[in-house]
Chains A and B, each alone.
Chain A
Amino acid sequence: MERTLTVVPDDGLHARPAATFVETAGSFDAEVTVEAVDGNRPAVSADSMLGVTGLGVRGGDDVRLVAEGPDAEAALDALEAILSTPEDELDDMELP
C-alpha cells in the first residue's frame, strides 16, 4: 500500500515534525518506508529519525510512503495527518 503526498510544515521533515513522524511510524506494526519523490536517495525506514531527517525533505516537497502490514492503512492515515499539519498546530494533534 502506498501514498504520495505533499509535506505541509515549512521546515519539512526536520526537527519536531520529523520527531513526531518517526515516533508515530514506530507505534504501528506495519513496516513503513518513506522517500522523496524528486530525491535521488533510496527510501528509508520511517521509524529512523536519522533516515527521515537525512532525506532533506522541505515544506512543499512530495514524498512517497509505502506501508506493509496489518495496520498499513491506519499507519498511512496517521502519517499523512502529521505531514499535512503546520508545525505550530502539531502539539494539539491527537496521535495514536
Chain B
Amino acid sequence: MTERRYEGIGATPTVGIGTATWYRPTDVTDLDEPPAAEDVDAAAERERFDEAQADARAELEAERESTRERVGDDEAAVFDAHLKFLEDPQIESGVEAALDDGLPAPHAVMEAFEGPIEQFEGMDGMMAERADDLRDIRDRLLRLLTGTERTDLGSLPDGSVVLAEMLTPSDTAQLDPEAITGIATSKGGRTAHAAIIARSLGIPAVVGIGDELDAIEDGQQVVVDGEAGVVIAEPDEETRQRAAESTQTPVVEESVATADGREIEVAANLGTPVEAEPAVDRGADGVGLFRTEFLFQDRSAAPDEDEQYDAYHEVCETFAAGLTGEEPRIVVRTLDVGGDKPIDYLDLDPEENGFLGARGIRLSLEEHADLFETQLRALLRVAATDAGAGLAVMFPLVSTVEELEAALEQVEQVADDLESEGVEYAIPELGVMVETPASTYLADAFAERVDFLSIGTNDLTQYIQSAQRDLDRMTDYQDPLAPAVVRAIDRTVTAGHAGGAWVGMCGEMAGDPELTELLVGLGLDELSMSAVTIPDVKTAIQEVDTEAADALAESVLAADTLAEVQDCL
C-alpha cells in the first residue's frame, strides 16, 4: 500500500496526525414542493419563522460567547456579522414577501436568501466569502424550521482529523481543539473562516484541496501538514514518524537554562485574566507583560479599584496555584492607551494622542492621573497578598527621566496614602518598558532608578525606524532585525545591566524560536511572548551555547544591512 498525497493550501504552520472523520452535515436545503398557497396558514408560518429567527439568534449569541472565550474577540466578530444578517431588513422583507405569496416558512427563507447569495457569489475575494456566511445563516434557519438534528462536531473521539467540504463559522464554534488533530477541507482559502479559527486554536489545517479529498475514507489514517499544505492518507512508516516528530513541541514546565547553564526566564504576554491558565499549561514561568487595557475597554466608565484588584489578583493566583517554588513574577503594565487604542470615555484624539502624541505614561501623569492613582492603589494592595509576592509594575512609553521620577513619586504617594488609611500594601518590583529611542539612550539612568527594563520591540521598531506600525506601505521597515533596532536592543541590555537592572523583552521578537540564540547572545534575562510559542522557545534555549550565542550577537551587531543580519542567522 502506498501513501496518497493531496495538495492544498496550508492554513497553520503545524502538523497533525489522526483518524479521518468525514463531516457531512444534513442537506437542509432539499425541501419538498410547497403546498398550494390556499392550503398554507400564513399567520402560523409567520409565527414559525419568528420562532426560528429567535432560536437562531440565541444560538448565535451562545456561539459568539463560547468563541470569544475559547479563541478571542476578533474571531467572535463573525457571529456579530451573522446576527446582523439574520435580522437584516432586506432578508426580513424578502421573507415577508414570500410569506405573503403563500409559501411556507422554509421555502420563504430559501427564496429570501437566494438573491443576496447569488449577488455576493458574483463578487470577488472577501465578498464572495460573504455568500458562505449567508448560506450558513440560511441553513441554520432551515435546520431550526425543519427540526433537523444538528450534526455534532463537539464530541468526536480524540485524535480525529475532520474532513469536510468546508466548515462554516457555526461548525467551527463547536470544534474541540483537544480532540481534533487536524482539519482538511476541499473548499476555502487561507482567509476562510475555518482557516482563521484553526490557526487561533492551533489545529493543523489544510484547505482548498479540491474534490480529490473525497477519496479519503472514514477511519483511514491521515497526516495534515499545515506547513507544507499537504494531506497524506495512509502514510507509510517514515511519513508517520516525521509527522509525529514535527507535531507539537512538548511543554517544558520547569524553568530553563542554556546548555551551559545560563538561566533565562520565559514568560507569557497576557491581554486578559482568562489567558493565564492556558499560559501556565504551556509552561510559562510567569507573566512578562500583562496588558491592562482590557479592563478599560468596551465599557462606559473606568473600573474602580476593587475590580482592578480582583483582576490582577486572579492572574497572580492562577500562576501561584499552577507553579511550585518561588512566587512567579507577574509584570503588570499600567494603562497604555493612545490614538490607536480608543476608549470612549477617555476622549482621546487620533492626532493629540497618536503614536507621537500624549499616550502611555504621558496620559497617566497628566490628563488621567486619577486613573493611574486608582490603578497603582489596586496594584500595591495585590503586592501585599501571598499570591502577589511576585508582582511587578511596568510603566509604558517612558521617554524621560523626569517622567519616570514623577511615576515613582506617584507610587510613593499612593503607598503613603494606603499607609495612613491602614490598608495593607507592598511596593512591587518597578520597571520601565523600553519602546522609544529616547529610552534606549537613557537605559542606564532608568536602570539606576528601577528594578528592571523590558524591551517592547513592536513600538521600539516603529519609533527607531520612524515607520508607523499600522501602515502597509511601511511593512519593510517593521523588521525588528533591522540593524538600527538590534543595536538599540544591545545598547539597552548593556546599559540596563550596568545600572543593576534585569532586562527582558516582551515584543513579538521574543517569541520567535529562530531568534532565541541571538537574544541570549544579546544578554536578555527574560523573554515574554504569547503562550503558544513558549514550548518552542524553552526548547530552543536549552540548545543554546552561550559562547556561540555571544559570537552570533557580535556578528549581527557588526552587520550594516538587514540582509547582512539575516545572513548571520
Contacts and interface: CB of A to CB of B under 8 A. Distances in A.
Interface of A: 14-15, 19, 22, 44-45, 47-51, 53-54, 56, 88-89, 91-92
Interface stretch (B82-90, B371-379, B415-423, B529-537): B82-90
Contacts of B134: 50
Interface of B: 81, 84-85, 88-91, 116, 119-120, 123, 126-127, 130, 134, 339-340, 342, 348-350, 470
18 contacts: A14-B126, A19-B81, A19-B84, A44-B90, A45-B89, A45-B90, A47-B89, A49-B88, A50-B90, A50-B91, A53-B130, A54-B119, A54-B120, A56-B123, A88-B470, A89-B350, A91-B342, A92-B349
B88 A92 contact: no
A54 B350 CA distance: 31
A57 to B, nearest CB: 11
B350 A92 contact: yes
B342 A92 contact: yes
A19 B339 CA distance: 21
Contacts of B350: 89, 92
B351 to A, nearest CB: 9
Contact of B84 (A44, A49, A89, A92): A49
B88 A50 contact: yes
Nearest to B89: A48
Shortest beta-carbon contacts, A-B, top 6: A92-B350, A50-B88, A48-B90, A48-B89, A50-B90, A91-B342
B85 A49 contact: yes
Contacts, number: 44
Given A88-B470, A91-B342, A92-B349, A53 B89 contact: no
A54 to B, nearest CB: 5
B561 to A, nearest CB: 30
B348 A51 contact: no
Contact of B339 (A48, A51, A92): A92
B88 A48 contact: yes
A56 B120 CA distance: 9
Contacts of B126: 14-15
Most buried by A among B126, B127, B340: B127
B127 A53 contact: yes
B342 A51 contact: no
A88 B355 CA distance: 13
A89 B89 CA distance: 28
Nearest to A12: B127
Contact of A50 (B116, B340, B342, B349): B116
A19 B77 CA distance: 12
Nearest to B115: A54
Nearest to A51: B90
A94 to B, nearest CB: 9
Contacts of A49: 81, 84-85, 88
Contacts of B120: 53-54
Contacts of A19: 81, 84
A22 B81 CA distance: 12
Contacts of A44: 90
Contacts of B342: 91-92
Nearest to A53: B130
Nearest to B84: A49
Nearest to B354: A92
A19 B84 CA distance: 9
B89 to A, nearest CB: 5
Nearest to A54: B119
Contacts of A48: 88-90
A47 B88 CA distance: 8
Contacts of A56: 123, 127
Given A49-B85, A50-B85, A54-B119, A14 B127 contact: yes
B348 A54 contact: no
Nearest to B80: A19
A44 to B, nearest CB: 7
A19 B130 CA distance: 14
B89 A51 contact: yes
